[in-house]
Amino acid sequence: MELEAMYQKLGVSPRVYAYGQRVLERLRGRFEEIDQTAEYNQGKVLAAMQENRLAANHFAATTGYGYDDEGRDNLERIYAGVFHTEAALVRPQITCGTHALAVALSANLLPGDELLSPVGAPYDTLEEVIGIRESTCSLKEYGVTYAQADLLPGGGFNFDAIRAAINGRTKLITIQRSKGYATRPTFSVAQIGELIAFCRSVKPDVKIMVDNCYGEFVETAEPSDVGADLVVGSLIKNPGGGLAPIGGYICGTKACVDRCAYRLSAPGLGQEVGANLGLMPALYQGFFLAPTVTAGALKGAIFAANLYEPLGFPCVPGAAEDRHDIIQAVTLGSREAMVAFCKGIQAAAPVDSYVTPEPWAMPGYDSEVIMAAGAFVQGSSIELSADGPIRPPYAVYFQGGLTWQHAKLGILLSLQKLTDAGLVSADYDS
Ligand SMILES: *Cc1c(COP(=O)(O)O)cnc(C)c1O
């Protein structure tokens, strides 16, 4: 068969290919649903582009101060349209997701205020932003305190603890949608809405921010549709569609976003400065592609879980579970298996496919880390990538794939490498 021969040329044996095809047979219905979500979200993006009369002049490069940058301003109106918010700040001067989150937090918290996370510990890089880990220029250094309500053992919200943690100084509540690299569940938009409503019932005027990283376009609604004052994310994840070479976004109420703009540039300047440096075509076109790119990544995550779970490798989320972000954790159980898995992902890449990933002692981590990435944009995690710390339970975190077909190849090749290394004990021939 022609396709099987192509996979063989790419390094996938007929045996692994056949197993993959059997797994896929069972996923047709779910893939159909994902396509429907993408179709709805494609419409949402298109409608916002049409309502804002997107035209070729918006692609023009600006330099210097960037005053009257219509391309930048219209991109922000389009993001606000898609997220159903009053305002948006979207630009290459926001260097990454952590930067966007740091801007949103430091702009909306003043000395004496308290920040609350009602969903347990935040993403690693935010620990230094907040000052949970001692850090120069942290919010803590500026007199902003931090409180945290942990999740219940099953992963649910601990409403009693949240109520007890909210006090007179609680100014902003931060909710992380994706589990990131933790083991808790990712929250659905509906769950986030429930949590927001609860927090508002305790303190009506509290500001609520959602770290939306990895969650954009996975559902038809976003956290801003269920009451968040601010939603924040990275353009080298879902909403950049793989084309944005840099950037972050903050969408929300005008009052909150204005403050973010003043913090990002300078008081008095705000959104008026910030040249687009010729990046508008990539940011617009990436946003246009984002719903279908996210759908491809989502299919890859579901395929990986359904391929590996029956072979005895525990997966989070589980093979049958609903998805609210694009991250898939696969517990491989040994250092050798992690290396083999990552070799497969790397070998499938369009860029750097000939490189062999090796575990290394990455600064800031207490164990060795292995990473596979062969991306057009450095560090982009909407592109096919896998990584994880080399320590029990030896789990890799797998995400992305600009096309479903590429994600499929990467996952099949990972299983091929595991099989070749004799690390798969289950029989998957029938
Ligand atoms: C990736 C991520 C971030 C940080 O984004 P960077 O672009 O890597 O700085 C923050 N929160 C979550 C949940 C993430 O997944």
- DSSP, collapsed to helix, strand or coil, labels residue 178 as coil
Cα separation values, 369 from 179, 232, 329, 380, Å: 19, 27, 15, 17
Is 246 a pocket residue for ligand 1 (Cβ < 6 Å)?
A: no
187 lines ligand 1 (CB under 6 A): no
Q: Is the pLDDT of residue 364 over 70?
A: no
d(CA 239, CA 78): 12
Residue 96, helix vs strand vs coil: coil
Instruction: Of 261, 255, 214, give the one whose Cα is nearest residue 233.
Output: 214
The tokens of 208 are what?
């609520």
Q: In this structure, what DSSP letter does residue 292 have?
A: H
pLDDT in tens, 223-240: 999 999 999 999 999 999
CA distance 88 to 44: 16
Q: What is the CA radius of gyration of the chain?
A: 22
Contacts 24+ apart (CB under 8 A), 259-266: 259/107, 259/108, 260/89, 260/103, 260/104, 260/107, 260/108, 260/230, 261/89, 262/107, 263/103, 263/106, 263/107, 264/89, 264/93, 264/94, 264/103, 264/107, 265/93
As a whole number of angstroms, the distance between CA 305 and CA 311 comes to 10
Q: Which residue has the tokens 């419409």?
A: 43
pLDDT at 180: 80
CA distance 60 to 81: 21
Element holding 371 (H helix, E strand): strand 369-373
- 392 vs 364: which has the higher pLDDT: 392
188, amino acid identity: S
Q: Report the nearest atom of ligand 1 relative to the CA of 379.
A: 8
For 244-271, the pLDDT digits (tens) are 999 999 999 999 999 999 999 999 999 9
- 100-109, 356-365, 366-375: range with lowest mean pLDDT: 356-365
pLDDT of residue 361: 86
- What spacing in Å lies between the alpha carbon of 219 and ligand 1's midpoint? 19
CB 214 near ligand 1, within 6 Å: yes
**247 in ligand 1 pocket by Cβ < 6 Å?**
no
Give residue 184's pLDDT: 85
Decide: 377 in ligand 1 pocket, CB within 6 A. Answer: no
Residue in the block written with tokens 């429930």: 194
- Is the CB–ligand 1 distance for residue 397 below 6 Å? no
pLDDT at 314: 96
Q: Is the CB of 212 under 6 A from ligand 1?
A: no
Sequence-separated contacts (24+) of 309-315 with Cβ below 8 Å: 310/23, 310/426, 310/428, 311/415, 311/424, 311/426, 311/428, 312/425, 312/426, 314/393
Q: Ligand 1: which residue has its CA nearest to atom 2?
A: 213
Task: Specify which residues 147 forms β-bridges with.
Answer: 116
Band of residue 1 on the pLDDT scale cut at 50, 70, 90: confident
pLDDT bin (cut points 50, 70, 90) of residue 430 is confident
Q: pLDDT (tens digit, 9 = 90+) per residue, 175-213?
A: 999 988 777 889 999 999 999 999 999 999 999 999 999
Classify strands 369-373 and 385-389 as parallel, antiparallel or unpaired: antiparallel
DSSP line for 219-286: SSS-GGGGT-SEEEEETTSGGGTTT-SS-EEEEE-HHHHHHHHHHHS-TTTGGG----TT-HHHHHHH
User: Which pTM does this prediction carry?
Assistant: 0.96
3-state DSSP call for residue 374?
A: coil
Distance CA 13, CA 94 (A): 44
Model pLDDT for residues 102-142, shown as the tens digit of each residue: 999 999 999 999 999 999 999 989 999 999 999 999 999 99
Largest CA distance in the chain: 68
Report the C-alpha gap between 86 and 251 in whole angstroms. 8
Q: Of 76-80, 86-90, 139-143, 369-373, which gets the smallest average pLDDT? A: 369-373
| pLDDT at 385 (0 to 100) | 96
Q: Are strands 230-234 and 328-331 parallel, antiparallel or unpaired?
A: unpaired
Distances (CA, A) of 266 to 199, 258, 263, 274: 31, 11, 6, 11
Give the Å distance between the CA of 305 and the centre of ligand 1. 22
